[in-house]
Amino acid sequence: MKHKKFKHSMAFVAAALMACQPMSVYAVTFADMNQVPWTGAEASINKAAELGLVVGETRNGKNYFRPRDSVSLAESCQLAYKLLLQTGKATSDTSVTEKWAAVLKTYGIQEWAHPAVSYCLEEGIISISNLSSFMKNGSNLPATREQAVTILGRALTTGVPSYSANATTTNFNDNASISSEARPYVALLNQVGVVNGDNVGKFNPKSTLNRTETAVLVTNLYSVLNKSSATVPTNPVASTQSGTIADMNALYVNFENSNAYYLFASTGATVTLNGTNSSAAELVKLFKNGTTIKATLTLDSNTRITKLVATADTKTAEENLTGTIKSLSKSSIKIGSNSYDIDDYKKLTIKINNSTKDYDDLKELYDDGETITATLTLDKDDYVTKIVTTTKSSSSSKTDELKEIKEVSGEDYDAYIKVDSTKYYIEDIDDLTVKIDGKTEDFDELADAFEDLEDGEYFTVSVTLDKDNDDDNYITKITATKKTSTSTKTGEITDLKEKSSSKGTIELDNKKSYSIKDVDDVTVKIDKKTEDFDELMDLFEDDVVMEAKLTISGDYVTKIEVTTEEDKDGYTTKSGELKDLDYEGKNDGYIKIGSKSYDIDDIDWLEVSIDGKNNKDFDDLIDAFEDLDKDEYLQVKITLDDDNYVIKIVATTKYE
């Protein structure tokens, strides 16, 4: 019999974690303090709750803190805002929330977070470009340790200007892994005793924060803020702002060397460009096309843009551009790294080495591999009207993979080679210049070397064509270089087998299997240490999760590099085929992977994902397991806490 459980509202939990209004909860008792990741953190959790910085979730008459849950970016802004409010370093201002409402709605920021996120935008604690990482598919994304500390560090320097974040390095052993943007704030909060490293001196910047870690962090930061002089920072409203535009769209303007984003007034703004009436849309188009725009903004009392006066170097006449032709079609031509549109190729004025030609003449030269330097003339609408070209020599070359080489008899020529999809003929192989890997050889040597290529080997050849001959494919020189085709593949190892005759296969989570020619010859590195294939097989059979990078030469794996790191929160992970699972009591159960079983302490707190869909529960997983077809199975990855209880299951349907 299946036990269906009440599903908790994640939206409520997120909103209740840090509510917008000030709140004090005294003598807080949380029912799930036994879930706190380490002893001693309970005091910080209770203090954070008493200060009104965090609250729990009331369920069935009990208050739950959910100490292992992650904290989102929006909640990090909420913490920063609330810390400043409750220490007298900021005041609530509804006009700021109103000012940023349209931007926050554009990025899908949930309404409960608007006051805090608006404040952080207004004070430069975050920027508009950060908002794209707040949400995904309507859900709040978790904050990494460095993201949260950057937000809280900027809150400290905003609330107490005497603190500055100027350090370019930190004292942590993984300093190089901390982003350059975050390092000054990590160093500052470490200096004032707000954040510390783990037991090996690492900060772990890319790991997420759980609610327990956050409670410790905010209570430490509250003490620092509370001891500092309580002054509310104010930003005097400027009637005008000027600068070179660094970013803009239809909503806002941001200048170079500035954290401030100025929004257009909702009633519209007057926009002029080079003294002529224009629009924000026209400026956005120019800006995105790479035009440098300088502007002066007139701002209202809420720092919204009411008038924008812009100057820019806009092209009103023809423009000439020079470079080597990289691609050519009837609709466009590319020189250097830029492409330019052709409105009507039949109307183009074309000159080749001072002779007037047509489009077909130019295309023929290009297709024959000629190196062509071109000067383009563009009209005011950026269409190409004229192409003046010069060629380097009377010969051209082609470079690509050698596909075929053959000696021909009974024809006007002695042989041909096929480069990619094109055949090139040789009139007299005795007069042909041939170089193989830098050594002068003859045609027969090249033919023999081509036939002797092993798996994964190939020749690239550069052929020189004699343009003085009536046949454009007439070859005078072949330069060949032997290469080995190699590629890399990455992913989690989902299957590993050793077959007879020392052959093997390895499968990654991209559902593809790769062959191993000889397991004794393949290079194996496990956590950067050289091991053998048997050691890798032992780890796989022990259900150790391994992220692998495969080097593939030709058709076979030649090198396997794996890491067996813990998950992002420092917990142990295991993976394998799901063999069984069930309840053992009302709220506990077990799951069997391969030949091993793992206990689940509390089904209600279990995170379950099935085929990429989150917010599933244990019953859903039981249903999916029982509904498998004969040729299907579930590959699962489980996360174990410090007591070896299962706290997370990620399941993926696979086929035999």
Q: What is the 3-state secondary structure (H, E, C) of 443-479?
A: HHHHHHHHHCCCCCEEEEEEEEEECCCCCCCEEEEEE
Q: What is the mean pLDDT of residues 116-121?
A: 94
**How many beta carbons lie within 10 A of that of residue 559, not counting itself?**
15
Residue 1 lies in a domain: no
Model confidence at 432: pLDDT above 50: yes
Final residue in a domain of this structure, among 289, 312, 335: 312
* Residues 42, 188 within the same domain: yes
pLDDT at position 510, please?
A: 67
pLDDT tens digit string along 529-561?
Answer: 888 998 899 888 877 778 899 988 877 888 999
Please give the model's pTM, rounded to 2 decimal places.
0.41
The verdict on 167 and 21 lying in the same domain is: yes
More confident residue, 476 or 319: 476
DSSP count for the chain of H helices, then E strands: 13, 39
Residue 314 has pLDDT above 70, yes or no: no
Query: Looking at the domain assignment, is residue 233 inside a domain?
Result: no
**Mean pLDDT for all residues in the chain:** 82
Sequential DSSP letters for 267-336: T--EEEETTEE--HHHHHHHHHTT--EEEEEEE-TT--EEEEEEEE----S-EEEEEEEEEE-SSEEEET
User: Are residue 170 and residue 25 in the same domain, yes or no?
Assistant: yes
Between the alpha carbon of residue 117 and those of residues 94, 120, 259, 642, the distances in Å are: 12, 5, 15, 35
Q: What is the pLDDT of residue 571?
A: 77
Lowest mean pLDDT among 26-30, 125-129, 150-154, 611-615: 26-30
> Model confidence over 585-632: pLDDT tens digits?
888 999 998 778 899 988 988 999 999 888 899 999 999 999 998 888
Among residues 312, 345, 369, the one where a domain terminates is 312
pLDDT band of 179, cuts 50, 70, 90: very high
What is the tally of structural domains in the chain?
6
- Residues 428, 386 share a domain: no
| Residue that terminates a domain, selected from 484, 503, 528 | 484
Q: Is residue 182 domain-shared with residue 198, that is, in the same domain?
A: yes
**Assign residue 193 a region: left if phi > 0, alpha if psi is -120 to 50, beta otherwise?**
left
Q: What is the pLDDT of residue 509?
A: 79
Task: Look at residue 198 and tell me if it is in a domain.
Answer: yes
Tens digit of each residue's pLDDT (9 = 90 or more) over 436-471: 988 889 998 999 999 888 777 888 888 887 655 444
Closest CA to 392 of 416, 362, 370: 370
How confident is the model over 4-13, as pLDDT tens digits? 332 232 222 2
- What's the pLDDT at 211? 87
- Check pLDDT > 80 for residue 412: no
Q: Is pLDDT at 125 greater than 90 in this prediction?
A: yes
Same domain, 515 and 469: no
**Residue 134 maps to a domain:** yes
Q: What angle do CA 137, 142, 145 make, to 5 degrees?
A: 155
Establish if 235 belongs to a structural domain. no
| Residue 478 and residue 599 in one domain | no
pLDDT exceeds 60 at position 345: yes
Lowest mean pLDDT, pick from 123-132, 173-182, 201-210, 370-379 = 370-379
pLDDT at 263: 80
What pLDDT shows up at residue 591?
A: 94
Indicate whether 298 pLDDT > 70: yes
* Out of 5-9, 114-118, 434-438, 483-487, least confident range: 5-9
CA-CA distance, 35 to 64, in Å (whole number)? 10
Structural domain of 461: 395-484
**168 and 36 fall within a common domain:** yes
Q: How far apart are CA 564 and CA 526, in angstroms?
A: 8
The region of weakest confidence among 52-56, 185-189, 229-233, 305-309 is 229-233
101 assigned to some structural domain: yes
Query: In this structure, are 116 and 66 located in the same domain?
Result: yes
How confident is the model at residue 26, as a pLDDT?
Answer: 38
Long-range contacts for 295-300 (Cβ within 8 Å, ≥24 apart)? Answer: 295/242, 295/243, 295/244, 295/245, 295/253, 295/255, 296/240, 296/241, 296/242, 297/240, 297/241, 297/242, 297/253, 297/262, 298/239, 298/240, 299/237, 299/238, 299/239, 299/240, 299/241, 299/262, 300/265
Q: In the structure, what pLDDT confidence band is assigned to residue 23 with cuts at 50, 70 and 90?
A: very low
Q: At what angle do helices 73-86 and 145-159 cross, to 10 degrees?
A: 20
482 φ, ψ (degrees, to nearest 5): -80, 135
Instruction: Tell me, yes or no, whether 208 lies in a domain.
Output: yes
Mean pLDDT in residue range 22-36: 61
pLDDT value, residue 413: 66
Torsion on CA atoms 271, 276, 279, 281, rounded to nearest 10: -130
At 205 the pLDDT is: 93
pLDDT of 231 above 70 = no
* CA–CA separation, 167 and 186 (whole Å): 9
Q: Of 68 and 321, which is predicted with more confidence?
A: 68
Q: Which has more pLDDT, 370 or 281?
A: 281
Mean pLDDT of 38-47: 80
28 falls in which pLDDT band (50, 70, 90)?
Answer: low
Predicted confidence band at 111 (pLDDT cuts at 50, 70, 90)?
A: very high
In this prediction, residue 134 carries a pLDDT of 94
Residue 14 scores a pLDDT above 60: no
Handedness of CA 96, 99, 101, 106 (dihedral sign): negative
The share of the chain scoring above pLDDT 70, in percent, equals 88
Same domain, 67 and 43: yes
- The arithmetic mean of pLDDT across residues 422-433, rounded, is 83
Tokens, residue 440:
């002068």
Same domain? For 38 and 172 the reply is yes
123 and 199 inside one domain = yes
Band of residue 74 on the pLDDT scale cut at 50, 70, 90: very high
Question: What 8-state DSSP symbol labels residue 501?
Answer: G
Least confident of 89-98, 398-407, 582-591: 398-407
Residues 6 or more apart from 299 whose CB is under 8 A from it?
Answer: 237, 238, 239, 240, 241, 262, 305, 306
Edge to edge, the sheet with strand 572-583 lists 596-600, 589-593, 572-583, 632-640, 646-655, 607-610, 613-616
If one compares 14 and 378, the residue with the highest pLDDT of the two is: 378
pLDDT at 233: 42
Instruction: For the chain, give the percent of residues with pLDDT over 90.
Output: 27
In a domain, 179, yes or no: yes
